[in-house]
Structure 1
């Protein structure tokens, strides 16, 4: 792809400043892009905030930092060079509006912002390989009705502890995100190599506090933090590697959803299990409640996760993806798989009840475009949202290892549709950089679809697709925007942008390695 194909740079802000205006967000997951990493005393989150479209509802999944009703987009570039420090990292914000976040390869200058640890007012200092922006999430942490941005830097040193990790919060307001009240915090027990912030999320997990709870993953599990007195305080730890109530899990992904419709979000921590020699994905489900989290059950299969109401029954459903099949040579399972655990009174369940397997989908499932092949990594990334406005949430599936023709690891994205009967292949779509109407050209190691997000940035009731290729242009990273129509996603009218279009240094930044869900 040539530089002429990138989005027009209409932004003049630098990495040490912010753009003009900002917005709001909600519960999210974030983790790695292609190859994956990693008894309770818990506190809660808030009652919903009246009068704003943002806030702390258990199933709130949009990102609206300025409370104007439009989804905003938070993107991480953890390898970005800041003040000469390679791998220091930064994040960008694009604010939604009636015309979305832009069109025709043009990003509106007044609706973007860039933040790093060199931005005035943001705590900390940009340092080599901090990886600020390696994971991002949103939620209303202080209960003021505006979503806030949670930005992880798992490579940050804490004192003399290398790669202990640290997390920064940028608070939302009527004018969007700003550094003025931003705070940073580390693990309750920092350790060298722990990479605190490998993944982050925020949601209304309990009723004990007036705001969303932040859950932060490290090598051991999840730590929980709540807002009080202008700061975030540690309120509990879930050690999934020494899991007395279930299977040991090395955490890599996290998501939230109100799977039992009790008004509190539930927390799902996913990863590989040493009990299976790290060959099988498992998810530990913790049920939210008025006074804390309770371990509900462990679910087999899948590493990446996302949540939403696919069958429109009022219960969130858990979607899980495993980018390599348990037997990657087995017929029908090659190249990765995606499963759905449907919500109900007892939380997420498989086809035959609480302990059973989900309904699995692969590229070889009837009606799904394409053919599963070894190394496709189908299901590496997932996002759930209503792309056609029919009231049923659809599922975007990223396969960054998909070969396009003879071009290896170029990447592709699928959309599977929701219905009253659940997820279906009827009307399923697939896209890649060689799809007519999509700008660019499939190239080796682009890893298109390493991150995906369905977001309604123009508030028309239909979620557009953001598909990231952090390996594009020799690891500069580029993000594509595909519009949504009455029949799902549309290739015509799609456009792309890199970090430079938002006023940030794009060279080797891996822009798009994290996108808020």
Structure 2
């Protein structure tokens, strides 16, 4: 924007055939200004922050300079209105050491807003969780922390692995806040650099409830890592990165009359599968209404009847998206669906890192109703090296969205699919730069989709 390289922008496709609008730091009512390398839109969360019935957008800008501090990071909460996004109340900024809304002092490469997730608590309290994985805290470099903004006029607290009741040990390089996901019942925070015992960067995920304790932080529920407080018989190994990605969806058990639980998927893209280094895996978790966590399933591409086969450097689980397509009925394998990005997949000989997306049930056997999309096989782009299909996936209602920001220009687009699409099935809708009101110069279009 404003001629600034990698300043970042969001293309919002409006419902009801109302066209496309562009949101950036050049938009009226959005404070600050577009600058080179900011990457406005690196992360996104959509929720109703002021309870006016209009969707609002929290935009992560982790590479924003705060004053003279490079890459300290910033999150803009841009309000929607009946007149459109950003057309009413000025945006609210969350940054460290400014406006009194976040604790601590802005430091280089804190990356405020590297991840964000928002929603409404069971008591209809709006909340936003902001990941800051580069924060130095408690004397440890890159330990990471998260901010919790709650209420229509947000109160903000910060928490990390040295906060009261939070699982695990404060340690250098934990990168707490690298990934965040939320439902209205629970939220989880990934710390992919956390050690498990003496095993460095094995990774961990921590669970919380969107309610505030007497210590002023979200209610801690659990912490989990391979070989630590669960994850079955999976072995923690150095560099696994358990918690590199997380996603979750509301879950209604068959014995319940309402949606009380959450199903979580945890990406472990650097997991070795047998002798296949960095093939990747995904751990499924269930969080009960009371906050108890259990482990329904461990999934790799070598699981029974799953399409495709685990290979070295596939990075299965690098990105994830989950959905409950019908919260009004008890959840089933048909309604609880998971998309797993596999950006290192080779779709044919000599075509490295073309990538793909595996769609799986979150209940029952992973291979019972899975499907596979890849460039040239469901994704309408010829296979090419370094397309990294699966680096951008998102769930929204009845659709799975797959962004293709890399590779040949002719294939750069965002595609929508039914969650029950068969392997190689066609998208139901396509958005491309230069079409339907989307600017032709939209670089890296679809790098993040929501």
On whether the aligned pair clears a TM of 0.5, the verdict is: yes
Query: Which whole-Å CA distance do the structure 2 matches of 1:137 and 1:348 have between them?
Result: 20
1:152 aligns with 2:162: no
Task: Return closer, same or farther for 1:147/1:312 CA change in 2, 3 Å cut-off.
Answer: same
Match of 2:177 among 197, 200, 210: 197
Q: Residue 185 of structure 1 corresponds to which residue in structure 2?
A: 158
Query: Which whole-Å CA distance do the structure 2 matches of 1:326 and 1:145 have between them?
Result: 42
Task: Return closer, same or farther for 1:218/1:337 CA change in 2, 3 Å cut-off.
Answer: closer
Query: Which whole-Å CA distance do the structure 2 matches of 1:487 and 1:414 have between them?
Result: 11
Query: Which whole-Å CA distance do the structure 1 matches of 2:446 and 2:64 have between them?
Result: 7
Query: Which whole-Å CA distance do the structure 2 matches of 1:118 and 1:466 have between them?
Result: 33
Task: Return closer, same or farther for 1:426/1:203 CA change in 2, 3 Å cut-off.
Answer: closer
Task: Return closer, same or farther for 1:502/1:360 CA change in 2, 3 Å cut-off.
Answer: same
1:393 deviates by 0.9
Output aligned runs, 1:264-303, within 5 Å.
267-271=221-225, 281-282=226-227, 284=229, 297=230, 299-301=232-234, 303=242
Query: Which whole-Å CA distance do the structure 2 matches of 1:172 and 1:502 have between them?
Result: 34
Contiguous gaps of at least 5 residues in structure 2: 1-5, 13-19, 32-41, 164-169, 210-218, 235-239
Task: Return closer, same or farther for 1:324/1:467 CA change in 2, 3 Å cut-off.
Answer: same
Query: Which whole-Å CA distance do the structure 1 matches of 2:55 and 2:283 have between them?
Result: 27
Conserved in 1, the CA contact under 8 Å of 2:417 and 2:426? yes
Count of matched residue positions in the alignment of Structure 1 and Structure 2: 378
Conserved in 2, the CA contact under 8 Å of 1:484 and 1:490? no
1:395 aligns with 2:338: yes
Output aligned runs, 1:288-437, within 5 Å.
297=230, 299-301=232-234, 303-304=242-243, 306-308=247-249, 312-313=253-254, 314=256, 316-317=262-263, 319-329=265-275, 335-340=279-284, 359-365=297-303, 367-387=305-325, 391=331, 392-405=335-348, 406-417=350-361, 422-432=364-374, 434-435=376-377
1:465 aligns with 2:400: yes
Offset from partner CA, 1:337-394 (integer Å, 9 cap, x none): 34546678996656xxxxxxx6544334455333332111112333331347885311
Task: Return closer, same or farther for 1:181/1:362 CA change in 2, 3 Å cut-off.
Answer: closer
Offset from partner CA, 1:423-475 (integer Å, 9 cap, x none): 4434423234555565x77664454434644233xxxxx3x334467x8489x
Conserved in 2, the CA contact under 8 Å of 1:66 and 1:146? no
Query: Which whole-Å CA distance do the structure 2 matches of 1:197 and 1:252 have between them?
Result: 11
Task: Return closer, same or farther for 1:200/1:363 CA change in 2, 3 Å cut-off.
Answer: closer
Q: Residue 52 of structure 1 corresponds to which residue in structure 2?
A: none
Task: Return closer, same or farther for 1:215/1:400 CA change in 2, 3 Å cut-off.
Answer: closer
Q: Residue 15 of structure 2 corresponds to which residue in structure 1?
A: none
Conserved in 1, the CA contact under 8 Å of 2:359 and 2:419? no
1:309 deviates by 6.5
1:495 aligns with 2:438: no
RMSD of aligned residue pairs (Cα, Å): 5.9
Conserved in 2, the CA contact under 8 Å of 1:87 and 1:509? no
TM-score by length of 2: 0.58
Match of 1:129 among 69, 89, 109: 109
Q: Residue 390 of structure 2 corresponds to which residue in structure 1?
A: 449
Task: Return closer, same or farther for 1:266/1:451 CA change in 2, 3 Å cut-off.
Answer: farther
Conserved in 2, the CA contact under 8 Å of 1:400 and 1:450? yes
Q: Residue 206 of structure 2 corresponds to which residue in structure 1?
A: 254
Query: Which whole-Å CA distance do the structure 1 matches of 2:50 and 2:233 have between them?
Result: 39
TM-score by length of 1: 0.52
Task: Return closer, same or farther for 1:367/1:335 CA change in 2, 3 Å cut-off.
Answer: same
